[in-house]
Amino acid sequence: MHLLITGGAGFIGSHFVRMTLSDYPGDRVTVLDKLTYAGNLRNLEDVADNPRYRFVHGDICDPTAVAGAMEGVDAVVNFAAETHVDRSLLDPASFIDTDVKGAYTLLEAVRQKPSVRFLQVSTDEVYGSIESGSFCETDRLSPSSPYSASKAGGEMMAMAYRKTHGVDIVITRGSNNYGPYQYPEKLIPLFITNALDDQPLPLYGDGGNVRDWIYVLDHCRGIDTALRKGESGGIYNVAGMNERDNRDITYRILALLGKDESLIRHVEDRPGHDRRYSIAADRLLSLGWAPRKSFEEGMAETVAWYRDRRDWWEPLKSGEHRTYYTAMYAKRLAEAEQR
């Protein structure tokens, strides 16, 4: 199989590229990536010389770049997206462009090639918050942020192209990922790298928000199962079955690094902050997938990776991230210091 992996230079996409090349020796991979602040060719260094891998620098909103990258492919796996909820509060326009218009542009191209399967990588955030129990795939979507609304829009576009044009689409909705190569703006890598530098950990609100955490490779294997075994038009939740509140995550990181709880700062909450995410993965489990990595092992490995790979994250934190971090946290951290 020849796969077009959009957003393959990002966190999850780069793991998916590595997994595909290693698990399927007959497969080829083309990556199409715009290399935004979150895209990083260093994430793909170890496959750069693989003759079954090709990189195309381009935007999924650009029909010409998409047509070129799609030459000869059997399936498209769309990871490309703007992905950070906090940034979607500061600048929603880029989310609507990539997460909705980008999906539409890819679907227009796939529509010309009836044998190509299109997998839209989506998120549990499209369901919104749930107080108790877990969402299943037939539940109503109720996104809370411009990010999750844009992701829901991308899904809707995929469903419309199936109904209207018969495009072979599959959708996955994954839980919160963690692992190596995650950009240091998301909770886990931000807190690990801040703690390594003895910088404050800005915990939103009371820290009681719950997320279902999945190790990145388990998510990739779930997407791969849906791609290869899922039914056309199928939607598959990819759950970690591992719910934790943000306080638990924070204390775990501090304990693994031997750092003091005094680094924690309770800062002003994220507007529209979803209290709890929870999804049931029965459909995907019935296809033979299950998460393999325990949270204890995955977190220990992830913390060790960031401890050993300052060469990877220090340049990111001193670049564009510094401007973003100041805009996002300076006021909140100053207020927290005054309390």
Under a CB-based contact definition with an 8 Å cutoff, are residues 295 and 242 in contact?
yes
Binds ligand TDX (CB under 6 A): choice among 15, 28, 84, 219: 84
| 82 assigned to active site | no
Binding at 21: pick from ligand TDX, ligand NAD, none (beta carbon under 5-8 Å per type): none
Binds ligand TDX (CB under 6 A): choice among 202, 230, 291, 298: 202
87 near ligand TDX (CB under 6 A) = no
For ligand NAD, the closer of residues 79 and 236 by Cβ is: 79
83 near ligand TDX (CB under 6 A) = yes
For ligand TDX, the closer of residues 108 and 269 by Cβ is: 269
Under a CB-based contact definition with an 8 Å cutoff, are residues 149 and 88 in contact?
no
Tokens coding 239? 């759950």
For ligand TDX, the closer of residues 168 and 185 by Cβ is: 185
The residue annotated as part of the active site, out of 82, 99, 127, 147, is 147
Please report, as residue ranges, which positions from 8 to 67 form the binding site for ligand NAD (by CB under 6 A). 9-13, 33-36, 38-39, 59-61
209 near ligand NAD (CB under 6 A) = no
Site track 167-206 with ligand NAD (rule: CB under 6 A), x = hit: -------x-xx-----x-----------------------
176 near ligand TDX (CB under 6 A) = yes
User: Three-class SS string for the chain?
Assistant: CEEEEECCCCHHHHHHHHHHHHHCCCCEEEEEECCCCCCCHHHHHHHCCCCCEEEEECCCCCHHHHHHHCCCCCEEEECCCCCCHHHHHHCCHHHHHHHHHHHHHHHHHHHCCCCCEEEEEEEHHHHCCCCCCCECCCCCCCCCCHHHHHHHHHHHHHHHHHHHHCCEEEEEEECEEECCCCCCCCHHHHHHHHHHCCCCEEEECCCCCEEEEEEHHHHHHHHHHHHHHCCCCCEEEECCCCEEEHHHHHHHHHHHHCCCHHHEEEECCCCCCCCECCECCHHHHCCCCCCCCCHHHHHHHHHHHHHHCHHHHHHHHHCHHHHHHHHHHHHHHHHHHHC
| 260 assigned to active site | no
Binding at 102: pick from ligand TDX, ligand NAD, none (beta carbon under 5-8 Å per type): ligand NAD
Binds ligand TDX (CB under 6 A): choice among 9, 109, 169, 187: 187
| 124 assigned to active site | yes
For ligand NAD, the closer of residues 80 and 141 by Cβ is: 80
What residue is closest to ligand TDX based on CB? Answer: 123
Q: How far is the CB of 86 from ligand TDX (least distance, A)?
A: 6
242 near ligand NAD (CB under 6 A) = no
Backbone torsions φ then ψ of 122, nearest 5 degrees? -115, -165
- Determine the Cα–Cα distance for residues 251 and 274; give it in Å rounded to an integer: 21
Residues serving a catalytic function are 124-125, 147
The residue ranges that bind ligand NAD (CB under 6 A) are 6-7, 9-13, 33-36, 38-39, 59-61, 79-83, 98, 102, 121, 123, 151, 174, 176-177, 183
Residues that bind ligand TDX (CB under 6 A): 83-85, 123, 125, 176, 186-187, 190, 202-204, 209, 211, 246, 270
